[in-house]
Every structure is written in structure tokens, then in C-alpha cells.
Structure 1
Amino acid sequence: MSRAPASPSSPSGRSTAMDIRVTLDGRPVEATLNDSPAARDLAELLPLTLDLTDFHGIERVADLPRKLDTSGAPEPAAAKVGDIAYYAPWGNLALFYQDGPAASADLLILGHLDVGADHLGRATRITIEAAP
């Protein structure tokens, strides 16, 4: 897996990025995962193709094949449009197309998609692969 150059750490826990290749409904989207233990664990599951459903008009969600390692999780941060997150109690992946609720220790930001809210809000299938 290739790694992008390190970027300064931010309060949201977004730090060193891992490149991934993502398609939403067959269209390529720029995306990165952060270097958290949960994001690295998600990378171990790749490639993944997941069907997405809407959750509360804020995010698209999908069940993962197993729960992710949440040890060493970064400080909680409120999700922003385009964030890839993991909701630990349910073990699902969440893609936010609206800003999310207040920060919660149960919601871990794993990375970010560079895609518009409209496209993300209509997405029904995501494929995530390791970048070449």
C-alpha cells in the first residue's frame, strides 16, 4: 500500500494518509484513509464492495464483514461532509454527505472522500481497494 506524504495532524485525528482507490456507483472518487489503527484494520479487509443505504438523511451506511480494531482511537471528532467513519457499536462504515452530529467516542473518522454531497448522498454502492 502506498503512503502519501505526512501532513500535519489536526484536532479531528486526520494525520498521515493512506491512499486508497474508491468508486461510487462505478465512478472513481479521490479518497484517503488516515493512519489510525481502525483505518489500518479497514485496509486489511480490502478490496471491499458494499451496498449503501441512507441513515437519517445525513450519511450512507454499510455493514462491514467484521468489526474493526478500535484500540488507540484518535480523539473524537464530529464528522464532516465527505468523511469516511466507523460506528463502533454497530460495526458499520458511514459516509457522511451532511455534517454529522457532535463528536462521539463511538464514531471514528477513518478518512475522507473528495466528492460532492449530492453524489455521495445518492450513492448506492462503494468499492474500496488498496491504491496500486
Structure 2
Amino acid sequence: MKRRTAAILLLAFALVSCSPSPTGEATPTSASETSSPAAGSVVGTVVRFSAGSVSLDVTIGEDNPATRDFLSMLPLTVTMEEFARREKIADLPRPLQFEGSPGSDPQDGDLIYFVPWGNLGFYYNTSGIGFSDQTIHLGRYNATPDELARLEDQEVRVEVSP
């Protein structure tokens, strides 16, 4: 009975903690509120990148300071562009708080945060790229390079998927 009461209180707190966005939509006020109340982790949160009728879902796969800070910025709008025939990149409005986030060995289909430039990267050709403390894994997506290209050079809305 105590667990049920605690879960109800936690859910009520999460609902009350949402603040209206400029468009009037309720959005979480911190990254922890985007997570599952029972799990207390942001792993599994789905973030949608969309422009017009095109959308791409990223499933958060890491619970680290960079991922939590990224989620706390949502919703936001970015512009994606091609970089080095390896990835699509997008600048964030500010650098992420990443201290304590482990580096990674990126794979095709990874969404990463690149510390030196403060940008997101959607890797689709990681051949020859190895582990780096400066490349922080955020999540995974499932799209071809052609599908990614459909989000290039336009405003892309980034938000937690309902």
C-alpha cells in the first residue's frame, strides 16, 4: 500500500511540476521529469526530431549528466547539416553540462554530444572512428543516411515524444 501511495504522489508531483511552454503546451521543467517515475532513469525516453512531415525518433540509451541536461533543454529548434560524410550535426543553444559523462566508441545509429564543439551528431558512417572521451553517447536512432538528409538545412523541432 505504501508503494502505491508513493507512486501516486510521485506522479502527482510530476504533473504539477510541468510548466507551460510559449505555445501553451505542458513540458517538463527538468530532465528527471521526462523519465519513468518508477525507474528514476531517463533511459528509454524517446526524443522526436521533426520538420514538416518528416520525423526521426531517438531512444535515449544513457543516463548521464549530458543526457539529462539535453532533455532539460527540450523542446527546442535546431538546424541539421551534413558533416564529413559521416554524420549530421546540429548546434545546441548552449553547451551541455557533461562532467561525469563517459566517453564512447560511436557506432552507426548513435546520437552523440561532441564536447569540443558543443553539438549533437547523428552518426551514420563511423568507419575508422574510435573511442573518445569527447564523444558522449546520448541515444540510438534507426534511419538511413537518405532519411537523415530529409532533415537537413531546415528548422527541426526537438521534443520528448508523447
Into which bin does the TM-score normalised by the smaller protein fall?
A: 0.7 to 0.9
Kindly report the root-mean-square deviation, in angstroms, between the aligned alpha carbons of the 2 structures: 2.4
- How many residues were matched structurally? 123
Q: Flag the structure with more relative contact order, 1 or 2, with Cα contacts below 8 A and sequence separation at least 6.
A: 1
**Shift in Å, 1:127:** 2.2
**Shift in Å, 1:24:** 5.3
Structure 1 outlier segments of 4+, above 4 Å: none
- Aligned counterpart, 2:48: 21
TM-score (norm 2): 0.66
Counterpart residue type for residue 51 of structure 1:
T
Asked if structure 1 preserves the Cα contact closer than 8 Å seen for 2:74 and 2:159, the reply is: yes
**Structure 1 unmatched runs, 5+:** 7-14
Matched, 1:45 2:73: yes
Asked if structure 1 preserves the Cα contact closer than 8 Å seen for 2:54 and 2:151, the reply is: no
The structure that has the greater radius of gyration is 2
Secondary structure, in 3 states, of the residue corresponding to 1:54?
Answer: strand
Secondary structure, in 3 states, of the residue corresponding to 1:119?
Answer: helix
Superimposed CA distance per residue, residues 46-98 of structure 1 (whole angstroms, 9 cap, x where no aligned partner): 11221111111101112110000111112x32211221111111111111121
Which is richer in helix?
2
**Structure 2 unmatched runs, 5+:** 1-33
Secondary structure, in 3 states, of the residue corresponding to 1:77?
Answer: coil
Matched, 1:128 2:158: yes
Matched, 1:112 2:137: no
**Aligned counterparts of 2:85 and 2:70: Cα–Cα separation in 1:** 25
TM-score (norm 1): 0.79
- Identical aligned pairs, as a percentage? 33
Asked if structure 2 preserves the Cα contact closer than 8 Å seen for 1:25 and 1:123, the reply is: no
